[in-house]
Chain A
Amino acid sequence: MGNGIIVTKNLSKIYGETKALQKANITIQRGDWTSIIGPSGSGKTTLLNMISCLDTATSGSVIVNGTNVSSLNQVKLTRFRRDNIGLIFQQYHLIPYLTALENVMMAQYYHSIVVEQDAREALENVGMGHRFDHIPSHLSGGEQQRVCIARALINDPKILLADEPTGNLDQKNGKIVLDLIKRLNDEGHTVVLVTHNPDISKKGNRIIELVDGKVTKVNVKNS
């Protein structure tokens, strides 16, 4: 348990009178695909946001890759996130006026230096080699999600966090994206994927179930 790449201890998040997450204790092993499943409002996105250093806990701690991120200030959290975590959003969140290539390069720019060739390779790696110069509005949902994944991968993070990555996609594009995530997991990336879809959650080798902000079940699939 103690060797997990992500470990939360008594992690709680309270918004006013709403207890979004209550004393969650989870451990995610390096190289695992962990699915967090639960109904709407169960606290799964809240948990993901705290693991990804986008949000801070009301109490408890989060240890990511050996660092207790709960003790970091905003600047250090930002630096830690860009060095260790790749984010995949349900809404893709691409900059609308930048091309697919530039969206990927932007993540390089905020991380360190821009190497266009690496950005091209990242897009080719997700099957978007033919869409470098297209702006997001000229791409399908599946294509935008793949650009989002390329952007998440460009700085070679150890952990990929995906929040409902197929939520806005049709079945065909959803499969493409999930296959891509599976491939990345097979290549060694630790994947944490939030979903409300039981079928998708089963892609992972570990399933954490949340209900009303509490971890109710942890299923480990035997490989």
Chain B
Amino acid sequence: MFMSILGKSFSRRKGKIAIAIIAVIMGAAIPSAMFTVSLDISEKVSYEFRKYGANLILVPKSDTIQVGFPGVEFGAVTEQNMINESDLWKIKTISWRNNVLGFAPSLYQVVKSGEGTNEQRMVLVGTYFNKEVEILKPYSPDDKKIFKTGIKSISPWWEIDGDWIEDPNDNTGSLVGINVAQKLGLKLGNTFTIRYSEVPDDTANETEYVLRVLGIINTDGYEDNQIIVNLQVAQNLTNRPNEVHTVQVSALCNACPVDVFAAEIEEKIPNIDAKTVKQLVSAEMSVLNKVEDMMMLVTVVALLASALGVSTTMTTSVIERQKEIGLMKSIGAENKRIASLFMTEAGLVGLVGGLLGYGIGLLLAQIVGISVFDSTVSPRLSVLPLVLAISIGMTLLASSLPVRRAMKIEPVIVLRGE
């Protein structure tokens, strides 16, 4: 009987029910889209930020010795330490390893090129471009044993005229900064000679090395003044096998503070300091927080508007059905029976509106994803129960006042037509 009353009441008031469902759809579609985008956005924003470079830099710990007389300080002497290249695989064995998008070591050395008055001093940097690093002891047996990484994956935004160095065993290929190319008059495909001596300006013991220009870099940064080669080239030239000065790490940090990464890497690799690029991290966190705040605000406003719509529709429904409610009461319906009828109606409106709102929210999420991030947003089924709970809860809450009104209806008044 209950279902018969409910079904016929619904079919008789299709228009009103449709308006209530539309109100719920509006309220449900926004949270559905916002939650779907929100789950994806953190990842996408982080990826966007990763395009602007690493957010962690590993440097060796330095031993600093204070020099001077008692009471008179002359300053400090710092001993240059190095990081072992053979430890770098450990970066991929921290608990947040899946969030490590890439890393690239750097070994720096000042070298000379050109002859006579045209002689130039510049920085040679040895690094990984596209290196396959073997993970000797993976964190989990399911982890991949080979990790492909290098400067190409952490600085994809570099503008290169020519090619990246793709072969990790290429011993002659180099990328030269645009300023270096101009000073030395280098073009793509040219070869040039660099000279290195362990003691500066010790021309008698200089080692010469011939490099080929594979690409010219233009970053508007310090790379424009550098020559970049495979790490082994720099290590062999400077006789520093297995040594690097710094390591840039690109970590995806949407759900974790980057400081946690830093601490874990410091635990894994001895004698290093992992320094976060605070500006980048705080900017990233700030953008994410603002986006999430904005989404929350939009969601709350949408839900309030929707609740208002549902409440108005339900109030109209109660007013229109006063006589029916009065009659039900006169023939013995208790208030809880009346309330359960209206609340079931409201719950069904919330359920249908929530389901449709979820679907429309997915479409909205795609529009946001494509227009803001140039990529689609993955539908998340986990959002559905959340959206249903919100829409049903909101509908029941919005209906509570009209239902209270229904419960207060006095049969004697409505039956005599007042």
- Contact pattern, A 56-97, Cβ under 8 Å of B = 1, otherwise 0: 000000000000000000110011011100010101010111
Residues of chain B within 8 A (CB-CB) of A54 are 330, 411-412, 415
Tell me how far the C-beta of A110 lies from the nearest C-beta in chain B, rounded to whole angstroms.
4
Closest CB in chain B relative to A77 CB, distance in Å: 10
Residues from chain A with a CB closer than 8 A to the CB of B333 are 78, 110
Bound-complex Cα distance A107 to B412 (A): 17
In the assembled complex, A49 has its CB within 8 A of some CB on chain B: yes
CB of B204 within 8 Å of the partner chain: no
* Contact segment of B215-223, B253-261, B320-328: B320-328
A110 contacts B4, C-beta separation under 8 Å: no
B386 to chain A, nearest CB (A): 35
Residue in chain A with minimal CB distance to B327: A93
Q: Which residue from A79, A95, A97 sits with its C-beta under 8 Å from B332?
A: A79
Q: In the complex, what's the smallest C-beta–C-beta distance from B381 to chain A, in angstroms?
A: 38
B-binding segment of A3-11, A98-106, A202-210: A98-106
Question: In the complex, A211 Cα to B18 Cα: how many Å?
Answer: 51
Q: Is the CB of B1 within 8 A of A82?
A: no
A45 to B331, CA, bound (A): 17
Taking CB atoms, residues of chain B closer than 8 Å to A155 are 332
A102 and B415 form a contact (CB under 8 A): no
Contact pattern, A 27-62, Cβ under 8 Å of B = 1, otherwise 0:
000000000000000000100010000110000000
Q: Distance (Å) between the CB of A35 and the closest chain B CB?
A: 20
A79-B334 in contact (CB<8A) = yes
A interface, over-half SS: helix
| A19 close to chain B: CB less than 8 A | no
- Name the residue on A nearest B324 (C-beta): A95
Determine whether the beta carbon of A151 is less than 8 Å from that of B331: yes
Cβ-defined contact, A93 with B415, below 8 A: yes
Find residues 1-57 in chain B having any chain A CB closer than 8 Å to their own CB. Answer: 1-2, 4-5, 8-9, 11-12
Chain B residues contacting A89 (CB-CB under 8 Å) are 415
CB distance A107 to B1 under 8 Å? no
Expressed in whole angstroms, the minimum distance between the Cβ of A93 and any Cβ of chain B is 5
CA distance A89 to B416 in the complex (A): 10
Q: In the bound complex, how far is the Cα of B416 from the Cα of A79, in angstroms?
A: 21
How many chain-A residues does the 8 Å CB contact rule pick out?
A: 30
Within the complex, what minimum Cβ distance (angstroms) separates A58 from chain B? 14
Please report the C-alpha to C-alpha distance between residue A121 and residue B5 in the assembled complex, in whole angstroms: 21
Contact of B416 among A45, A83, A98 (CB under 8 A): A45
- B321 → chain A, closest Cβ, in Å? 10
Please tell me the number of chain B residues within 8 Å of chain A, measured between CB atoms: 25
Interface set, chain B 378-418, CB cutoff 8 A to A: 411-412, 415-417
Residue in chain A with minimal CB distance to B407: A74
Consensus secondary structure, chain B interface:
helix
Q: B275 an interface residue at 8 Å Cβ cutoff?
A: no
Assembled-state Cα–Cα distance A110/B2 (Å): 10
Q: How far is the CB of B314 from chain A (nearest CB, A)?
A: 18
Say yes or no: is A184 at the interface (Cβ < 8 Å to chain B): no
Q: Specify which chain A residues have a CB less than 8 angstroms from the CB of B335 in the assembled complex.
A: 74-75
The answer to whether A78 and B334 touch across the interface, beta carbons within 8 angstroms, is yes
Give chain A residues whose Cβ lies under 8 Å from the Cβ of B331.
82, 87, 106-107, 110-111, 151
Q: Which B residues touch A95, using CB under 8 A? A: 5, 324, 327
Q: For the complex, give the distance between the alpha carbons of A95 and B322 in Å.
A: 12
Q: Which of B2, B5, B8, B412 contacts A49 (CB 8 A)?
A: B412
**A111 touching B412, Cβ below 8 Å:** no
In the assembled complex, B337 has its CB within 8 A of some CB on chain A: yes
Q: Are B415 and A110 in contact (CB under 8 A)?
A: no
Say yes or no: A98 contacts B8, CB within 8 Å.
Answer: yes
Q: Which residues of A contact B (CB under 8 A)?
A: 45, 49, 54-55, 74-75, 78-79, 81-83, 87, 89, 91, 93, 95-98, 102, 105-111, 114, 151, 155
Given contacts A75-B334, A87-B331, A95-B324, 18 further A-B contacts (CB under 8 A): A54-B412, A54-B415, A55-B412, A74-B335, A78-B329, A78-B332, A79-B332, A82-B331, A83-B332, A91-B415, A93-B323, A93-B415, A95-B327, A97-B12, A102-B8, A106-B331, A110-B332, A111-B331
23 A-B pairs with C-beta separation under 8 A:
A45-B416, A54-B330, A78-B332, A78-B333, A79-B334, A82-B331, A87-B331, A93-B330, A93-B415, A97-B9, A97-B11, A102-B1, A102-B4, A102-B8, A105-B1, A106-B5, A108-B1, A110-B328, A110-B331, A110-B332, A110-B337, A111-B331, A111-B332
Give 8 nearest A-B pairs by CB, closest first.
A82-B332, A109-B1, A110-B332, A54-B412, A110-B333, A97-B12, A97-B8, A55-B412
